[in-house]
Amino acid sequence: MWYREALDRAEQAALLADIRAVMAQAPPFTPTMPRTGKPFSVTMTNCGPLGWVSDTSGYRYQSFHPDTRQPWPPVPARLLRLWETYARCPAPPEACLVNYYGPDARMSLHQDRDELDLTAPVLSLSLGDTALFRIGGEERGGKTSSVRLASGDIFVLSGPSRLAFHGVDRILAGTSTLLAEGGRINLTLRRVNPA
Ligand code: MD3
Ligand code: FE
């Protein structure tokens, strides 16, 4: 489900302030690819009881920041309310991954399957510059379609779409004035463990 312009500018600004506070507690880090150690072009942080990290030992969820070793900050109340409204999931999110894309960042086609519970929905919220987002089916190499995810859009992946291949082809620089520094922040709220 794609909820275009779900959030007005004031609500986007309030969420951005919440996320800036998360980033002050848990500074964005540059994940690296398992095995190769190649850095991601996206920087990341998390809030919630668990956070997604990637380094040379692999992808995983853990309860603390990889550099500061501090627990992740809690998920802001405003984000929890969006989960309640849009995710239609009785259990609260356990992880909120915060991705920051500069103008040249991208994310190659992948599936999200590091969660033990693959039946719960994932809620994505976009802030800042528009992303050219690509989504396909459950098999790599299948047909894909492109959508432009703009600031304030909410995308909920549930049912079979939860295992769809997806990625970000590029960021359309200068399409939003929300982030003073430019670029895009994407938040994904997730369950990790079965409720
Ligand atoms: C489809 N993030 O963090 S959000 C990710 O824009 C990720 O930062 C992208 O892919 C971003 O893993 C896409 C939309 C999204 C999120 C999770 C999904 C699409 C998804 C999980 C399953 C299928
Ligand atoms: Fe993903």
Which residues, other chains included, contact 69 with Cβ-Cβ below 8 Å and sequence gap of 6+?
none
Classify burial at 101, counting beta carbons within 10 Å of its beta carbon; exposed 0-12, middle 13-18, buried 19 or more: buried
Whether residue 153 contacts residue 6, with contact meaning beta carbons closer than 8 Å, is answered with: yes
Q: Given this model, what pLDDT does residue 168 score?
A: 98
Q: What is the CATH number of the domain that holds 128?
A: 2.60.120.590
Q: What is the DSSP code (8-state) at residue 32? A: B
In this prediction, residue 149 carries a pLDDT of 98
Please give the share of the chain, as a percent, with pLDDT higher than 90: 100
Residues 126/101, Cβ–Cβ less than 8 Å: no
Give per-residue pLDDT as tens, 83-94: 999 999 999 999
Whether 108 is covered by a domain: the verdict is yes
* Residue type for position 130: T
Q: Is residue 195 part of a domain?
A: no
Q: What is the pLDDT of residues 132-150, one digit of tens each?
A: 999 999 999 999 999 999 9
Instruction: Count CB-CB contacts under 10 A for residue 87.
Output: 23
Q: How far apart are CA 166 and CA 2, in angstroms?
A: 14
Q: How far is the CA of 63 from the centre of ligand 1 (A)?
A: 21
Residue 126 lies in a domain: yes
The tokens describing 82, both together, are 């969006």
In whole angstroms, give the CA distance from residue 83 to residue 160.
Answer: 19
Show the domain range for 180: 2-190
Tell me, yes or no, whether 103 lies in a domain: yes
Ligand 1, atom nearest to 186 Cα: 8
| Structure confidence at residue 86 (pLDDT) | 98
Which ligand has its closest atom nearest to the C-alpha of 134?
1
CB 40 within 8 A of CB 81: no
Domain count, the chain: 1
Where in the chain does DSSP place strands (E)? Answer: 2-3, 43-47, 51-55, 58-62, 95-101, 107-110, 122-128, 130-135, 145-149, 154-157, 166-172, 184-190
Asked whether residue 22 is domain-assigned, the answer is: yes
Name the residue among 149, 73, 75 with its Cα closest to residue 107.
149
- The reported pLDDT for the residue numbered 74 is 98
CA distance 43 to 39: 9
Q: What is the pLDDT of residue 9?
A: 98
Mutate to test the pocket of ligand 1, among 43, 124, 125 (most ligand atoms within 8 A of CB): 124
Question: For ligand 1, is residue 155 a contact (CB within 6 Å)?
Answer: yes
CA of 108 to the centre of ligand 2 (A): 9
Largest distance between two CA atoms of the chain: 43
Rounded mean pLDDT of 80-85?
A: 98
For a ligand 1 pocket test, name from 166, 187, 189 the mutation site with the most ligand atoms within 8 angstroms of its C-beta.
166
Interior angle at CA 95, CA 189 and CA 169, nearest 5: 55
pLDDT at 190: 98
The answer to whether ipTM exceeds 0.90 is yes
For the CA of 99, the closest atom of ligand 1 is: 8
Amino acid at 95: A
**Per-residue pLDDT, 40:** 98
Whether residue 124 is contained in a domain is answered as yes
Residues 6+ apart with CB under 8 A from 20: none
Q: Which whole number is the average pLDDT over 33-45? A: 96
pLDDT, tens digit, for every residue of 86-135? Answer: 999 999 999 999 999 999 999 999 999 999 999 999 999 999 999 999 99
